[in-house]
Amino acid sequence: MRCYFSFLAVGFLALQFTTPLRADDADGARAVIDKAIKAMGGEEKLGKFKNHTWKNKGTWYGMGDGVPYTASYAVAWPDKFRFEVEGGFMTVVLDGDKGWMQAMGDTREMSKEELAQQKEEVYSSHVTTLTPLKDKAFMLSLTGETKVDDKPAVGVKVSHKDHQDVILYFDKDSGLLVKSERKAKVPEEGNKEVTQENLYTDYQDVEGAKLPMKMTILRDGKKYVEGENFEIKPVEKHDDKTFAKP
């Protein structure tokens, strides 16, 4: 009985000292998101990219020295993703609750930790498409103003009961998304937790939607990936093999 009442006491204290999200704060955050969606072409134009493919070329700094790469991608939001480096070096596939990794022709299922991390990676990317945030399942709050690339930006924290928080930063003038930030675990480094920042630049028109062509990824402030997108194409329906085991 003592444990039971202790549990009730902790729950009561949590209710007492948890500050609810203010309505004006949530409304302000949603106004920022609405402005960004409009700046990027509107819901209808962005909705065409729920399923799409693209290519990316750039430099990977995961081992210290920069390694050039060219890769192909495919997504079917919210939980299907394929990434393939040219030359057969690596392929990563997420299909809902299943995931595989292929390196130099050797294919294996993702470990529990790798699968969890990949799900969060895809979730955070899905969040940056912005239109899903119209759903009330996402809790939004303002984090205040800061500077991104020496320009004023407004931060919005995105919370969801099934995922880690993601903070999105929007250019104060244009309304465009300029940065996302989250905590990430790196399986190849013993699940070390890092702060990952994705920087978005060089917005261009793609079939009526305004999309970033360049992205830089920082981990704990150090450059991890620097890449440029091209051949972005919406897809009516992906081939069944796209998200199958490679």
Q: Is the pLDDT of residue 11 over 70?
A: no
Q: How many residues does the chain have?
A: 246
Sign of the dihedral defined by the CA atoms of residues 207, 208, 209, 213, in that order: positive
> Quick one: pLDDT band at residue 22, thresholds 50, 70, 90?
low
Cis geometry, peptide bond prior to residue 20 (ω within 30 degrees of 0): no
CA gap 120, 113 in Å, rounded? 11
Give the C-alpha distances (Å, rounded to integers) separating 226 from 63, 81, 156, 197, 244. Answer: 14, 20, 24, 12, 28
Residues 90-103: tens digit of each pLDDT: 999 999 999 999 99
Q: Which pTM was predicted? A: 0.88
Confidence of residue 25 (pLDDT cuts 50, 70, 90): confident
CA 68, chain centre distance (Å): 23
Rounded to 5 degrees, what are φ and ψ at 7? -60, -45
